[in-house]
Amino acid sequence: MALTGSVLSVPAATLGVMATEMPSALRQLIRIQHGVFSRKQALRAGLSPDMIRSKIRRGTWRRLSAGVYTIGTGKPGRGARLWAAVLAAGAGAALSHETAAELHGFAGKRLDDTVHVSIPGERRIAGIPGAAIHITARAPVAVQARSYPPRTTVEETVLDLVDASVTLDDAFGWISRAVAGDLTDEARLAAAMARRHRLRWRPELKGLIKAAVTGNHSVLEFRYDRDVERAHRLPASACQVSFARADGRRGRRDRVYERFGLVVELDGNLAHPEESRWQDRARDNSAALAGLQTMRYGWTSVRHQACATAVEVSRVLRLRGWTGQPRPCSYGCPVRGEFPAELSGPRITTRSG
């Protein structure tokens, strides 16, 4: 989402007034800042307090918030609202959290129009309509150089969002989207972590970042690797394996146990439209033609039934030649009952019903 340049809703007559009544420096700022500017900027450009009051009184300028104005008409667009919030927040302010992620391009779907702004820790400001204010001592060092409007860097944005995450799944979602978009990498995230004295989920973050870098495209994939595969000591699968589809295009399989001809597909979508179901069938059929068996799991099977999923995958792996032994992840893990420690070889126990 590019918010630089001029996106103004300004009548031609107003533009003419701008050219004759406004200093060129202020006109340039107005173009860059989506028609929005501050009282301080107007004073620095050479306008007097009386001139500012006159323009507001005549309606030439509209007040968006305390000390922030626009010459545009109609409802301000998204770019104008972002500039208005960061200008109203004052010196050292920068767009952050979900708003910075939006500008960097890894926010996903925006749920509301709230503008998130971070300000230096020593400052306090009144509330800004439509904005969420975050106070942080890191504000001066977290801002991306030459960013307009000012925003936190990708790494600082990711860690801010990780800090604010309610669950580990949410935290991984922010990391994986930034990494998958080639906006950051393991080294830069690790360096940003090292600069923070306090950080939520710190013990888990190294593993989350590694998972994102090595091919986990979703929280569901990360959970499968951690809670199903590694927790029960199943053989390691290959991630995001490329294959040729029947129409000649390339596709990817989520997890492949290549030695045993087994594919595990993971679908974290709650909704499964017809087009996706068709793609799933085509992918499964392609695997069958290649001599591969496909098992398919969704969110419930991986997050809430990881042990039962491990039992199923272990059974199929053993039927297809795996001579290893899955291990229970806890005392009550059903793997303990399905695969007693004394069993060896590919034999398995089954239950009816």
Percent of the chain topping pLDDT 70: 86
The topology under which CATH files domain 219-338 is: Endonuclease; Chain A (3.40.960)
- Return the pLDDT at 21: 67
For the chain, domain boundaries: 12-81, 91-213, 219-338
Place of tokens 């005392």: 331
Place of tokens 């409802």: 75
Query: Checking DSSP bridges between strand 293-298 and strand 262-267, what pairing results, if any?
Result: parallel
Is the CB of residue 318 less than 8 Å from the CB of residue 236?
A: no
HEC profile of the chain? CCCCCCCCCCCHHHHHHHHHHCCHHHHHHHHHCCCEEEHHHHHHCCCCHHHHHHHHHHCCCEEEECCEEECCCCCCCHHHHHHHHHHHHCCCCEECHHHHHHHHCCCCCCCCCCEEEEEECCCCCCCCCCEEEEEECCHHHHECCCCCCCEECHHHHHHHHHHHCCCHHHHHHHHHHHHHCCCCCHHHHHHHHHCCCCCCCHHHHHHHHHHHHCCCCCHHHHHHHHHHHHCCCCCCCEEEEEEECCCCCEEEEEEEEHHHCEEEEEECCCCCCHHHHHHHHHHHHHHHHCCCEEEEEEHHHHHHCHHHHHHHHHHHHHHCCCCCCCCCCCCCCCHHHHCCCCCCCCCCCCCCC
Phi, psi of 23 (to 5 degrees): -60, 150
Q: Give me the long-range contacts of 252-259 (CB less than 8 A, separation at least 24).
A: 253/283, 253/287, 254/217, 254/221, 255/221, 255/224, 255/229, 256/292, 257/317, 257/320, 257/322, 259/235, 259/321, 259/322
Is the CB of residue 165 less than 8 Å from the CB of residue 174?
A: yes
Burial of 33-71, coded b for 16+ CB within 10 Å and e otherwise, reads: bbbbbbbebbeebebeeeebeebeeeeebeebbebbbbb
- Return the pLDDT at 32: 93
Structure tokens at 52: 């500012």
Structure tokens at 129: 């309509």
pLDDT along the chain (353 residues), means of 10: 42 46 88 95 94 92 93 89 96 96 91 92 88 91 94 98 91 92 96 94 89 82 93 95 82 93 81 52 75 91 95 96 95 89 44 37
Q: How far is CA 68 from the centre of its chain?
A: 31
- Return the pLDDT at 349: 41
- Return the pLDDT at 268: 61
- Return the pLDDT at 175: 94
Pairwise CA distance, residues 275 & 279, whole Å: 6
